[in-house]
Structures are given as structure tokens and as C-alpha cells.
């Protein structure tokens, strides 16, 4: 084995991981040494004979395990964005080991006694240290530090098993996605855009298939195919395959895994004294209780469903006119929604894409960050990256000082899980010097051919802005302690910076500057711009229903007091029936591939958080709109100071109030979605 890069100080520019030297063989020994060093750090900390204080206990805890974090950040990012069989094997091995390792730390009686002692003598700490102490103490308690020995042992078993199950869940979904391909001939691509046909042709060639075209389960293929293919049978085949990820029977079926995860999470909550896992999880959020979450979902659901039923009726008229002879089904919705969009707003999505080149949309995102926060971005070439498609940009402030490194990984591939996300290879902190962040945005855009521009749908452009909002949350972070840096905030607050940033994409002055035709370079015609702006709330009934149904099912699974390995499929169907789910709309994330919730715990009992944060983001953007200037410097300064730069320094409600002067109501959300006028009658 070559020299292990993880055992060296990285001298690469900006301290970027030396991806060109890191190989799968390096991770196992690096994890092993990292675990050993972290255990030694914790043992020394717990046995420290000095009276516990913030510096020798909380700061020491924050400093501990640096090698383990260094290895883990690289590994888990690669395991999501560019995995292979070797990395997946390591993931299956390390997930339960790491879960057990951290469980042991948080249930260490001697260490917790020191944390308790610091909490009991916390007078005189500044606000940030007081907040970090509060969060550290809460983490210990919520992990089981106060449990009896037998309960601690059972808790450790649960945590370890959940880690293994979550890893298997995600790998099953990825395998189902990678294995499916729909082979098409020249007669099977009617209605498809030239861009999608070109992408499908490249896919067929890359996979060595004899067919002319091939469609995969990447959203960059699935969405435009369902929107444009005139072949109903093929739309149904693609829709069913996409919906059945993790639910095909056999080795990759996730139903049994879901049932076990839900049962173990409930048991974990009971050990900690909570009625259900939802009560446990939400106790650490802005929402606080399942009842508060359900109240918000209920308020939006009936309006969204009523709007969706009106949308369905309008689309059915078009289907009848075209002689479809069948009621619209779930695999038809996107196709007829596009026909309705064309009729109402004269917007051809394929033509509109010509004005949303990937490079220009990213330039727009950079420009907005410059106007709001004084950032500039310069591409850096020749740096080590983990895949040839990855681009690297340096962010600087108004004075030209380095702020962060930003990695953009845009294109879909079989080694990357579906969806889009932000992550960090290094988080900002100032505990031992000014550590600047290395942030990555991962998308799944269809890769163009050589010399061609990557064109985005409006939804894909919005996703780019969304993830860049998360990236800014990481890049602008300005705190001392890793515990509260960047996106380390409440799960129902973390989507505020990202969803808020989406608003600037569709502002007229942004579109006028950056929406230019891919071939001619001409600016978007004012008429088309007006039609796109008018269509901003189009199909919001559908969007609300597919999202809220997923949030309801997530909440309902985790509100079970005694799940006892319930039948996941039957339970999902029963809960959808209870909310009167329209048969013509599917959950945005069907339970067997609901990675947000079952491939890790980040959004478990918390998928509602996108909607909760949307209440905040809609109201927050109105703070700019009320001034008549979407780049108002005073509002932008408050936004940076109290939201983007502050990390978890304050309770979310306090942070938002510091920015806005008050808490929001849901009316701004309903206005944004165009649902205020919607009847509550289903």
C-alpha cells in the first residue's frame, strides 16, 4: 500500500484533500487509527484530575478526534458522490463501528460528570460558549448519558443496528437505480427534446447497448421523459420503475428494513422517556411537538389538495380533447401538466431550457452572493478533485481575502446517489486559528455532449440556487466552535438559507442579466420572462400534495408508540387513505426509497422541515420586497449576521427574530404557493 495521505499534513492548495493520492485502501487503516486516537483523547479527557471547566472539558471535547473527522468527511462525501464496490464494503463495515464508537463516548459516565460539572458552574461564559455548552450537554442527555447500565447497553445495540440498516437502505436504492435502463429505438422517442435524446443516446453508447437510446432512473432523465414522451406505455414503465426503487422484492427490497428501523427508533425514544420517536426528535427543533407539525401540514394540505383537484380537472380536459380515452393516472400528471402550462402560459419547457444554461445559472448564483454579501468567485484549475467533472472555485470577500473553497459536482452518474445536496470537506472554525471551509454542491444534471452546453429546467435551476444557499451557509459561517458552525442548526431551520436563496433566481433583474439563449446569446425576451414569472405558482397543488403526503407518512411512522415491526407497505397505504391522497399523485418520496428519512436520521420525523422553513423563507424574502430593493444592504447585512454567518449560535426562533424583528406567520408561505385563495374543500 502506498503512503497513507491521511497520516500527513495536507500541503495541497487551500488544504484540499489530495484526491489524486487517496485510494480505497487508505480508508480502513485511517479509520482504525482515527478511532484509536479519538478513544485516547476521550480517555485522557475523562480522567483529567483538574476540576472541570469550559476550556479543559468542552473545548477539549471539541478538539478531540481530529483525524477521525478528517477521514470521515472525505469518505462519506465520496460514498455519496462517487462510490464503488470497495467504498460500499467499507461503508457497511464502518457505519455500525462508528455508531458504536460515538455511542460509547456519549454514554461515558466520567466524561458526562465533567460536562455536568461545567454546566453547573457556567456563570460568566459569553453567549457563544454558553450556547455550545448547552448543546453539548443536551447531546449527552439525548444519547443516553443518564441511563442505567443495562439501558446504556441496549441503547448502544440499537444505535449500532440502526447505522447498519440505514447504510443497507441507501445502498439498496442506489443499486436499483443503477440496474434499471429502458432501451429505446428511433420510434420510441416521440415528444422528447433534442437535449434529452442526445443524453439518452450518450447513455446507450456509454453502457455499450445495441439500442439507439437509453433512459436511466436519474431524475435528470425521469422528469423530462415523463413531461414530454407521447408514449403513455413508456411513461408508465419509467414511472413504475422510479417508484419501485427499494420495493422490487429480493435482496434490495427495503420494506423489512423500514419496519425494523421504525421499531428500533421507537424503542430508543422509550429508553429516553419519550412517548414516541417523533416526540424525541422534535423536542430538539423549532416545532417542538408532533402536534405543531401536524397543524402546519393540515393548514397547507387541504388548500393544496383542492388546488390539485382543479389542476387535474383542467388537465383532464386536455387529455379528453386529445382522445386519450382514459382518466389521468400518476404516470400522466407531468405530461399533461406541461401541456396545460403550454396552454396557459405558452411556455415550452424544452425551449425555456435554452435560457437556463448551467454556467449562466451558476454565474447568476455567484452574482447574487456578490450583491448580497460581497463575495466573488474565481475558478481554480489544476487542483486535485475526486472526479473529472468536479470544478473548483475560490470565494473571496470585498477586500480580496480568501473566504472558502467551493466545489461543484454537477452531472449525473451511476456512482452518485440521486438528488442534490451540500456537504463539507472542512467546516469553518476558529478554535485553533482561522480554519476556512471547503464546501461542495452535488447535483444530478444530465451531462451534455462535447462542446454542448448543459441546459437546465426551471426546477433544476431552482435546485442549483437552493443548494448554493446551503453552500453559502457553510462558506459564510463565522463562529469559533465546530459544534455550531455552518449548517449545524436545527433540522427545521437548516432549509431557511437554501430555500430563501431560491427567490432570487426568478427576480426579473436577475433573469434579464443572466437568462441568455444557449445558441444565440440573446437575452430572454421580455414576453417570455413575463410568462415565466406568471407561471411561478403553476402546478403548486401537485407540488404541495406530493410533498405533504411524504411529510405526513414520515411523521405518522415515527408517531407510532408501539410499531412492533409494522407492515411498512400497508401502513403507508393506510396513512395515505386517511388524508384522502389523490390516486393521480404519488408521494414525492415513496417509503421504500425515502432516503431523507431511512438512509440516516437527519430528516427522520423531520421531512416537514422544508415546509416549516418555507414559512420562514417566504416571510424573510418579504423583508427585502418591502424595501423595494431585493439587494437592500441593511437587510442583507442582518441576514448575513443573524442567519448565514451565525450557525447555531442562537436558538432558531431567536436568530430569526434578530433578523426580522418578529416571528413569521404561514400567510407568506400560502401567498408564495398561490394557495391563499384556494378553497379548503377537497
Same domain, 20 and 142: yes
* Residue 63 counted as domain residue: yes
189, 219, 244 - which closes a domain: 244
Distance between CA 606 and CA 298 in Å, rounded? 15
Same domain, 141 and 23: yes
Distance between CA 339 and CA 421 in Å, rounded? 30
Least confident piece of the model among 102-106, 252-256, 344-348: 344-348
pLDDT at position 681: 36
* Residue 240 counted as domain residue: yes
Is residue 350's pLDDT more than 90?
no
Q: How many C-beta atoms lie closer than 10 Å to residue 194's C-beta?
A: 9
Report pTM: 0.94
Q: How many C-beta atoms lie closer than 10 Å to residue 205's C-beta?
A: 13
| Confidence band of 679 (pLDDT split at 50, 70, 90) | very low
| Confidence band of 123 (pLDDT split at 50, 70, 90) | confident
- Beta-carbon contacts of residue 21 (< 8 Å; ≥ 6 apart): 2, 5, 384
Is residue 680's pLDDT more than 60?
no
Over residues 649-666, mean pLDDT:
95
* Residue 40 counted as domain residue: yes
pLDDT at position 649: 97
229, 244, 259 - which closes a domain: 244
Same domain, 26 and 129: yes
Same domain, 11 and 133: yes
Q: Which among 251, 334, 272, 280 is positioned nearest to 588, based on CA atoms?
A: 334
Cell numbers found for residue 627: 424595501
Q: Which domain holds residue 80?
A: 5-106+108-146
Active-site pick, 62, 302, 467, 495: 467
More confident residue, 667 or 437: 437
223, 244, 265 - which closes a domain: 244
The backbone torsions φ and ψ at residue 19, rounded to the nearest 5 degrees and listed phi first, read -55, -30
* Residue 71 counted as domain residue: yes
Same domain, 187 and 59: no
* Residue 587 counted as domain residue: no
Same domain, 26 and 142: yes
Same domain, 133 and 188: no
Task: Please answer whether residues 57 and 363 qualify as being in contact, where contact means their C-beta atoms are separated by less than 8 angstroms.
Answer: no
* Residue 24 counted as domain residue: yes
Diameter of the chain by CA atoms?
Answer: 83
| Confidence band of 1 (pLDDT split at 50, 70, 90) | low
The helix-helix angle for 85-106 and 27-46 (nearest 10°) equals: 10
Give 73-119 pLDDT, tens digit per residue. 999 999 999 999 999 999 999 999 999 999 999 999 999 999 999 99
Q: What is the dihedral of CA 164, 442, 304, 227, to 10 degrees?
A: -110
Distances (CA, A) of 386 to 5, 405, 568: 14, 15, 37
Over residues 482-494, mean pLDDT:
96
- Beta-carbon contacts of residue 581 (< 8 Å; ≥ 6 apart): 545, 549
pLDDT at position 668: 87
* Residue 13 counted as domain residue: yes
Same domain, 37 and 85: yes
Give 312-340 pLDDT, tens digit per residue. 999 999 999 999 889 999 999 999 999 99
Q: What is the DSSP string of 637-681?
A: HHHIIIIITTTTSS-HHHHHHHHHSS---THHHHHHHT-TT--S-
Give 462-473 pLDDT, tens digit per residue. 999 999 999 999
Give 431-457 pLDDT, tens digit per residue. 999 999 999 999 999 999 888 999 999
Count structural domains, the chain.
2
Helices within 218-289 (DSSP H only): 219-228, 232-243, 255-271, 277-282
* Residue 662 counted as domain residue: no
Same domain, 94 and 197: no
pLDDT at position 129: 97
467 catalytic, yes or no? yes
Is residue 565's pLDDT more than 80?
no
Residues listed for the chain: 682
Same domain, 116 and 189: no
Same domain, 33 and 141: yes
Task: Please answer whether residues 666 and 304 qualify as being in contact, where contact means their C-beta atoms are separated by less than 8 angstroms.
Answer: no
Is residue 134's pLDDT more than 70?
yes
pLDDT at position 677: 60
Same domain, 216 and 100: no
Q: Which among 556, 595, 558, 611 is positioned nearest to 579, based on CA atoms?
A: 556
Q: What is the CATH number of the domain that holds 33?
A: 1.20.1050.40
More confident residue, 349 or 362: 362
Q: What is the mean pLDDT of the chain?
A: 95
Amino acid at each position: 500500500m502506498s503512503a497513507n495521505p491521511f497520516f500527513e499534513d495536507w500541503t495541497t492548495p487551500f488544504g484540499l484533500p489530495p484526491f489524486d493520492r487517496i485510494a480505497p485502501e487508505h480508508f480502513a487503516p485511517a479509520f482504525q487509527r482515527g478511532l484509536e486516537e479519538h478513544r485516547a483523547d476521550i480517555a485522557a479527557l475523562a480522567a483529567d484530575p483538574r476540576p472541570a471547566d469550559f476550556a479543559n472539558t468542552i473545548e477539549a471535547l471539541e478538539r478531540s478526534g481530529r483525524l477521525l473527522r478528517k477521514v470521515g468527511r472525505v469518505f462519506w462525501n465520496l460514498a455519496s458522490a462517487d462510490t464503488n464496490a470497495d467504498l460500499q464494503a467499507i461503508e457497511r463495515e464502518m457505519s455500525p463501528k462508528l455508531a458504536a464508537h460515538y455511542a460509547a463516548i456519549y454514554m461515558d459516565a466520567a466524561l458526562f460528570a465533567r460536562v455536568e460539572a461545567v454546566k453547573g458552574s457556567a456563570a460568566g461564559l459569553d453567549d457563544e460558549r454558553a450556547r455550545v455548552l448547552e448543546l453539548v450537554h443536551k447531546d449527552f442527555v439525548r444519547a443516553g448519558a443518564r441511563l442505567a447500565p443495562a439501558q446504556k447497553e441496549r441503547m448502544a445495540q440499537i444505535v449500532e443496528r440502526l447505522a447498519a440498516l440505514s447504510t443497507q437502505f441507501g445502498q439498496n436504492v442506489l443499486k436499483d437505480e443503477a440496474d434499471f435502463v429502458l432501451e429505446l429505438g428511433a420510434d420510441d422517442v416521440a415528444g422528447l427534446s433534442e437535449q434529452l435524446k442526445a443524453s439518452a443516446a450518450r447513455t446507450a453508447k456509454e453502457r455499450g447497448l445495441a439500442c439507439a437510446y437509453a433512459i436511466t432512473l436519474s431524475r435528470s432523465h425521469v422528469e423530462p421523459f415523463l413531461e414530454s414522451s407521447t408514449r403513455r406505455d413508456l411513461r408508465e414503465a419509467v414511472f413504475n420503475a422510479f417508484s419501485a426503487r427499494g420495493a422490487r422484492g429480493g435482496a434490495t427490497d427495503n420494506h423489512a428494513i423500514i419496519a425494523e428501523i421504525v421499531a428500533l427508533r421507537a424503542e430508543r425514544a422509550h429508553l429516553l422517556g419519550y412517548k414516541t420517536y417523533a416526540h424525541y426528535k422534535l423536542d430538539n427543533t423549532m416545532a417542538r411537538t408532533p402536534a405543531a407539525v401536524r397543524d402546519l401540514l393540515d393548514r397547507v394540505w387541504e388548500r393544496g389538495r383542492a388546488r390539485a383537484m382543479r389542476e387535474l380537472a383542467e388537465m383532464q380536459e386536455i387529455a379528453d380533447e386529445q382522445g386519450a380515452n382514459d382518466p389521468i393516472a400518476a404516470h400522466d400528471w407531468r405530461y399533461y401538466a406541461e401541456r396545460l402550462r403550454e396552454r396557459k402560459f405558452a411556455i415550452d419547457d424544452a425551449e425555456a431550457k435554452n435560457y437556463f444554461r448551467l454556467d449562466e445559472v451558476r454565474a447568476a448564483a455567484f452574482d447574487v452572493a456578490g450583491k448580497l454579501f460581497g463575495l466573488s468567485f474565481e475558478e481554480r484549475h489544476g487542483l486535485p478533485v475526486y472526479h473529472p467533472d468536479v470544478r473548483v472555485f475560490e470565494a473571496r470577500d470585498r477586500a480580496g481575502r480568501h473566504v472558502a473553497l467551493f466545489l461543484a459536482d454537477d452531472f449525473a452518474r451511476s456512482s452518485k446517489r440521486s438528488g442534490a445536496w451540500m456537504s463539507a470537506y472542512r467546516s469553518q472554525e476558529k478554535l485553533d486559528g482561522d480554519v476556512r471551509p471547503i464546501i461542495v454542491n452535488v447535483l444530478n444534471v444530465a451531462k451534455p455532449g462535447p462542446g454542448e452546453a448543459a441546459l437546465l429546467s426551471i426546477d433544476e435551476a431552482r435546485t442549483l440556487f437552493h443548494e448554493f444557499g446551503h453552500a453559502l451557509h457553510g462558506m459564510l459561517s463565522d463562529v469559533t466552535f465546530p459544534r455550531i458552525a455552518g449548517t449545524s442548526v436545527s433540522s427545521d431551520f437548516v432549509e431557511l438559507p437554501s430555500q430563501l436563496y431560491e427567490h432570487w433566481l426568478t427576480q426579473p433583474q436577475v433573469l434579464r442579466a443572466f437568462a441568455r439563449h444557449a445558441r444565440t446569446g440573446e437575452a430572454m425576451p421580455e414576453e417570455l420572462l413575463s410568462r415565466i414569472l406568471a407561471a411561478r405558482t403553476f402546478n403548486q397543488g401537485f407540488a404541495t400534495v406530493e410533498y405533504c403526503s411524504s411529510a405526513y407518512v414520515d411523521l405518522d411512522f415515527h408517531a407510532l408508540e408501539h410499531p412492533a415491526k409494522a407492515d411498512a407497505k400497508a401502513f403507508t397505504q393506510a396513512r395515505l387513505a386517511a388524508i384522502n391522497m389523490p390516486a393521480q399523485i404519488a408521494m414525492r418520496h415513496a417509503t421504500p426509497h425515502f432516503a431523507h428519512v431511512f438512509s440516516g436520521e437527519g430528516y427522520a420525523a423531520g421531512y416537514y422541515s422544508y415546509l416549516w422553513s418555507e414559512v420562514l423563507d417566504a416571510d424573510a424574502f418579504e423583508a427585502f420586497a418591502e424595501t423595494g430593493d431585493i439587494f437592500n444592504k441593511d437587510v442583507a447585512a442582518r441576514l448575513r449576521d443573524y442567519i448565514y454567518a451565525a450557525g447555531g449560535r442562537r436558538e432558531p426562533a431567536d436568530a430569526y427574530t434578530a433578523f426580522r424583528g418578529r416571528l413569521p406567520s404561514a400567510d407568506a408561505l400560502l401567498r408564495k404557493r398561490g394557495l391563499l385563495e384556494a378553497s379548503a374543500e377537497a
